[in-house]
Chains A and B, each alone.
Chain A
């Protein structure tokens, strides 16, 4: 399978990438590691006429301690995040979830920024971002702005970035020493989750985000409210509430609802909630 022909532009800075987006508009797409975009281009589900390669912006590949949060460059590869001592100490949920993405080869190339803006409800990273209360910094022709994780996922495979914006940094508030769990149900090791859940203990309750249970990565308000109300692990019974999962080859709607309740239940137990 070969993508539709395109023009290739290699950006040497974020500003250059943004300028290329501004010049080519909707016809252009940014490519970081290419592990979400390239498969879609090979299937011809995406056919940008200009690909702007940002994969060499090494100054956007880092994990830094920024005080009460971790600053992670958008171009940081999964492998670096899953093995980062800083991430393992202050956001172990993110380190673990990152280690569940694809397989080692995929994690050598894929980036956290690329994965998040791909906005796939079946992906592992978005749920971890939501459960950790994280945000992304984006840059465009008019400067920088911060988008909270809860505002990042606009629709099916659609982020809330403008066509001329790019993610530069992911910010993850520290959750040092707090309970957490990442649950993923799939049939083969390297597959996407049929259903998954990210759970992070916070003061007075927990954040619970579900994978592949809704057109967008989504927090479960019903479970979070039940936990705050003292519901404990029984809060998992609410995991299907408010979700509109799809039915596909892997699972029916009813099976997904069942999986959500079971996985959230296991996760709440593992996180000590």
Chain B
């Protein structure tokens, strides 16, 4: 099936099988491999990206469902090549990553969280990231980074 998806501001047209998952489409057809596949069962959140500005798990969405929609991946978050998104800066400054595998999904989920709740409490951050697992168990600094990006938690 012919689909057309805006990925990070650029429209891509591809012929995909209806059973193609969005995460496979983004990684293999569009060639953006920043979005990781973790559990592949909508539990871990490593594959989180934005569809029309909202965080979703791209292992649990078909590429054909994204036809005509706007997708943002971790590669499309920074405003330019030499400037990071404030959430990426916060993750760096708070040392909010260890092995880094969950990081793209964590960052995308965190940006969506602050879009919906710009000044969360620590408890709200922890609850808001319930869909993302860090197997290094580095949650404490991740929560600090999100609070820092929100201007709170200092």
Q: How many A-B residue contacts, CB cutoff 8 Å? A: 78
Give chain B residues whose Cβ lies under 8 Å from the Cβ of A189.
127, 130
Tell whether, in the assembled complex, residue B62 and residue A106 are in contact, meaning their CB atoms are under 8 Å apart.
no
A118 interfacial by beta-carbon distance below 8 Å: no
Give chain B residues whose Cβ lies under 8 Å from the Cβ of A109.
56-57, 60-61
Interface window among B7-15, B17-25, B76-84, B142-150: B17-25
Greatest chain B CB density within 10 A among A6, A38, A103, A104 is at A104
Q: A1-B40, A35-B60, A39-B60 are in contact. Are A105 and B55 (CB under 8 A)?
A: yes
Tell whether, in the assembled complex, residue B65 and residue A34 are in contact, meaning their CB atoms are under 8 Å apart.
yes
Shortest Cβ gap from A165 to chain B (Å): 23
Q: A53-B64, A108-B56, A109-B56 are in contact. Are A5 and B131 (CB under 8 A)?
A: no
Greatest chain A CB density within 10 A among B42, B113, B132 is at B42
Give chain B residues whose Cβ lies under 8 Å from the Cβ of A106.
42, 57, 60, 131
Shortest Cβ gap from A35 to chain B (Å): 6
Tell whether, in the assembled complex, residue B131 and residue A102 are in contact, meaning their CB atoms are under 8 Å apart.
yes
Chain B interface mostly: mixed
Tell whether, in the assembled complex, residue A6 and residue B109 are in contact, meaning their CB atoms are under 8 Å apart.
no
A144 to B32, CA, bound (A): 46
Give chain B residues whose Cβ lies under 8 Å from the Cβ of A145.
none
Query: A-contacting residues of B (Cβ < 8 Å)?
Result: 1, 17-19, 21, 24, 40-43, 45, 48, 51, 54-57, 60-62, 64-65, 109, 112-113, 116, 127-128, 130-132
Query: B-contacting residues of A (Cβ < 8 Å)?
Result: 1-8, 10, 34-35, 38-39, 41-42, 51, 53, 55, 79, 102-106, 108-109, 189-190
| A–B Cβ pairs within 8 angstroms, 12 of them | A6-B18, A8-B64, A34-B65, A79-B54, A102-B42, A103-B130, A105-B55, A106-B60, A108-B54, A109-B57, A190-B130, A190-B131
